[in-house]
């Protein structure tokens, strides 16, 4: 079945782990043998990190494929996919590597498996440089399910930097085909809520301070809405290690969701963490898009696979999104256009419409 290898340059554009995730997922889905070179060439520690390696091994196991050159620090891999199968699959970064990024690479693949899948993902649930599991559950999940599938995300144990130790179980059934989405009508903000957490030895006061600072910051700009941010002490049996963080979500009248989040670090005071999350949310509400900046790139692969024309309205198009589009076009031959929004209300804003004619991938097993 294997044709010529598709060559991917892992050092261009965003130049990080995302190129690896998008290209191996598409390789697996489309049965394209792949070589990725210059992996994470632009990073301070180039090559594969534990997180990327466990994602690759998971994709290999999902389809009984062959993977060569996959070890920590490696900057070149080759991958030959076979048939995607459902069932139980485990990936363990053994570090605080993000379970959400493991989900990003595996989810599109198991949608086109022959039977339901259970993904047991271990690592960091609330980690730097990646979506927090709360974002995945509260923003990504309801929006991505508009493509016509559902999944269940069960947080067994939370894990933080530097130890990780978290575990999330994702269960999903395959689909015949994905429907296109249209997320262009932003509506008006109807509700703002959130969760400020502490885990391990950190005092509960830290959660209360993060929440209070975030509420104060949002109130300066949005006066007429009740802002409900719950301070939470993570139960000892559901959190491994010490951590703190906050996620705040705005919901609109048309069902759009936007978030701002931040994680505590040693020596950073709680107020600062709360304010950072609030400011991120407010920035995402100012640009007039219907998705926030962290969702736009995560939707690209699903738009590429769907049948028909998908449209999303976004703020400034991120480098992550441009990168995802580049590889979805190169590997899947989907067609994307990105244009400035022509709506009157967006005239003075930095707002764009990303449109995609998807390839209408069908599940050969169903």
Residue 241, sorted as left (phi over 0), alpha (psi -120 to 50) or beta, turns out to be: left
224 is in an annotated binding site: no
Q: Annotation-wise, does 161 bind a ligand?
A: no
Q: Which residues are catalytic?
A: 320
Q: Checking phi first, is residue 208 left (phi over 0); if not, alpha (psi -120 to 50) or beta?
A: alpha
Summary mean pLDDT of the chain: 96
| Span 182-230, pLDDT tens digits | 999 999 999 999 999 999 999 999 999 999 999 999 999 999 999 999 9
pLDDT at 348: 81
Whether 296 has a binding-site annotation, put simply, is: yes
pLDDT in tens, 102-142: 999 999 999 999 999 999 999 999 998 899 999 999 999 99
| Whole-angstrom distance, CA of residue 351 vs CA of residue 296 | 12
Q: Using pLDDT thresholds of 50, 70 and 90, give the confidence band for residue 344.
A: confident
SS3 195: strand
Q: How far apart are CA 338 and CA 180, in angstroms?
A: 17
Mean pLDDT on 140-154:
98
The average pLDDT across 233-241 equals 97
Count of other CB atoms within 10 angstroms of residue 172: 20
pLDDT, tens only, 3-13: 689 999 999 99
104 is in an annotated binding site: yes
Region for 136 from its dihedrals, namely left if φ exceeds 0, alpha if ψ lies in -120 to 50, beta otherwise: alpha
pTM score of the predicted model: 0.97
Task: Give mean pLDDT, residues 140-149.
Answer: 98
**In the 8-state DSSP scheme, what is residue 124?**
B
Tell me the DSSP string of 82-102: -----EEEEEE-SSS-BHHHH
d(CA 51, CA 33): 22
Q: Where does the pLDDT of residue 2 fall: very low under 50, low under 70, confident under 90, or very high at 90 and above?
A: low
> Count of alpha carbons within 13 Å of 197, Cβ hemisphere only?
25
Would you state the pLDDT for residue 1? 52
Per-residue pLDDT at 42: 83
Query: Which of 6-20, 320-334, 344-358 shows the lowest mean pLDDT across its residues?
Result: 344-358
- The whole-number average pLDDT for the span 306-333 is 97
**Residue 185: per-residue pLDDT:** 96
């Amino acid at each position: 079945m294997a044709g010529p290898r598709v060559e991917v340059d892992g050092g261009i554009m965003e130049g990080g782990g995302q190129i690896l995730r998008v290209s191996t997922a598409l390789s697996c889905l489309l049965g394209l043998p792949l070589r990725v070179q210059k992996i994470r060439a632009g990073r301070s520690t180039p090559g594969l990190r534990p997180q990327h390696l466990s994602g690759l091994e998971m994709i290999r196991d999902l389809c009984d494929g062959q993977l060569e050159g996959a070890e920590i620090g490696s900057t070149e891999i080759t991958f030959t996919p076979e048939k995607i199968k459902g069932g139980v699959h485990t990936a363990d970064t053994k570090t605080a590597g993000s379970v959400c990024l493991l989900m990003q690479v595996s989810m599109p693949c198991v949608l086109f498996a022959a039977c339901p899948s259970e993904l047991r993902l271990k690592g960091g649930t609330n980690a730097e440089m990646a979506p927090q599991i709360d974002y995945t559950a509260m923003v990504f999940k309801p929006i991505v399910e508009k493509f016509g599938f559902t999944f269940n995300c069960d947080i067994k144990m939370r894990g933080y930097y530097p130890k990780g130790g978290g575990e999330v179980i994702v269960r999903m059934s395959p689909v015949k085909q994905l429907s296109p989405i249209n997320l262009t009508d932003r509506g008006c903000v109807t509700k703002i809520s959130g969760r400020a957490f502490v885990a391990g030895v950190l005092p509960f006061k830290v959660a209360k301070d993060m929440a209070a600072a975030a509420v104060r910051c949002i109130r300066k700009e949005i006066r007429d809405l009740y802002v409900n941010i719950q301070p939470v002490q993570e139960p000892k049996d559901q959190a491994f290690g010490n951590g703190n963080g906050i996620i705040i979500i705005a919901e609109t009248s048309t069902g759009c969701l936007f978030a701002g989040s931040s994680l505590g670090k040693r020596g950073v005071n709680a107020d600062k963490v709360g304010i950072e999350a609030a400011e991120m949310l407010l920035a995402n509400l100012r640009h007039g898009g219907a998705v926030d900046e962290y969702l736009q790139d995560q939707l690209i692969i699903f738009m590429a696979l769907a049948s028909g024309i998908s449209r999303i309205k976004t703020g400034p198009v991120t480098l992550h999104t441009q990168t995802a589009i580049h590889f979805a076009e190169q590997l899947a031959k989907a067609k994307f256009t990105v244009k400035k929004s022509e709506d009157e209300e967006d005239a003075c804003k930095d707002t764009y419409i990303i449109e995609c004619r998807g390839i209408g991938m069908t599940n050969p097993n169903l």
